[in-house]
């Protein structure tokens, strides 16, 4: 793909993100997306085929970026980072990402769980990968006996993922004056409460 076409697709993504986050998918038209991006309507069809295809590509792009951000925040093996600190670092990375991509996050929250959309299967798979990053860290904690023994790590991973998205959006939308350190500290405490205290050592 040429740089020019890639830049055009990026403008269309940004226009669609802004419009859909403001008024929803159904209310957003191809004409509006093209106008906001500063291109002809035919450019949308040339690059994506239509609104549904554009949105499918956009959702895949957005959730993939979030999943990559979480994965890149996981400390390298042998780095000596305690498992709970590693989990807190991944949650912080999610908050930072959403803070920098607020409109994208609002759009994901509005659309990602709608099972009747054409993009659901692809986005669900990528979302599962994002949650899997958190679940994997919880599994590490469980293997080391650092969480309560009855913890369902898959469900807890999903809960923490949703917590990060909703808390970060609340911060950016309603409490933007609060420093990110406050948000991160609160999330870390909430995560500790969810996963529970370490397993007591055998007597």
Rounded CA separation 162/48 (Å)? 30
CB 4 within 8 A of CB 46: no
Q: Which domain holds residue 28?
A: 1-49
Indicate whether 195 pLDDT > 80: no
pTM for the model = 0.79
* Domain of residue 40, CATH code: 1.10.10.60
* Residues 38 and 61 placed together within one structural domain of the fold: no
Model confidence at 32: pLDDT above 80: yes
Contact status, residue 75 vs residue 81, Cβ threshold 8 Å: yes
Confidence of residue 12 (pLDDT cuts 50, 70, 90): very high
Same domain, yes or no: 65 and 91: yes
pLDDT digits (tens, 9 = 90+) for 109-151: 776 666 677 667 777 777 788 899 999 999 988 888 888 888 8
What is the Cα–Cα distance from 62 to 58, expressed in whole angstroms? 6
Domain count for the chain, please give it. 2
pLDDT of residue 156: 92
Taking the C-alpha atoms of residue 42 and residue 50, their distance in angstroms, rounded to an integer, is 9
pLDDT tens digits, one per residue of 97-108: 988 888 888 777
Cα distances from 62 to residues 2, 43, 103, 113, in angstroms, run: 21, 21, 11, 14
| Domain-located, residue 17 | yes
Stretch 158-172: mean pLDDT: 88
């Amino acid at each position: 793909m040429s740089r020019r076409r890639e830049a055009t697709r990026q403008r269309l993504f940004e226009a669609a993100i802004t419009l859909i986050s403001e008024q929803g998918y159904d209310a957003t038209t191809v004409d509006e997306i093209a106008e906001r991006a500063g291109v002809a309507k035919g450019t949308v069809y040339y690059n994506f085929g239509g609104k549904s295809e554009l949105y499918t590509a956009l959702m895949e792009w957005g959730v993939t970026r979030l999943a990559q951000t979480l994965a890149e925040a996981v400390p390298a093996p042998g780095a000596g980072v305690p498992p709970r600190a590693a989990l807190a670092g991944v949650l912080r990375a999610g908050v930072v990402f959403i803070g920098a991509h607020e409109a994208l996050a609002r759009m994901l929250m509005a659309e990602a769980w709608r099972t009747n959309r054409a993009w659901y299967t692809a986005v669900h798979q990528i979302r599962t990968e994002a949650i899997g990053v958190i679940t994997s860290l919880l599994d590490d904690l469980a293997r080391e006996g650092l969480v309560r023994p009855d913890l369902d790590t898959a469900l807890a991973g999903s809960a923490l993922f949703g917590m990060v998205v909703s808390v970060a959006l609340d911060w950016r939308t309603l409490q933007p004056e609060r420093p990110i350190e406050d948000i991160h500290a609160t999330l870390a405490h909430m995560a500790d409460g969810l996963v529970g205290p370490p397993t007591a050592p055998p007597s």
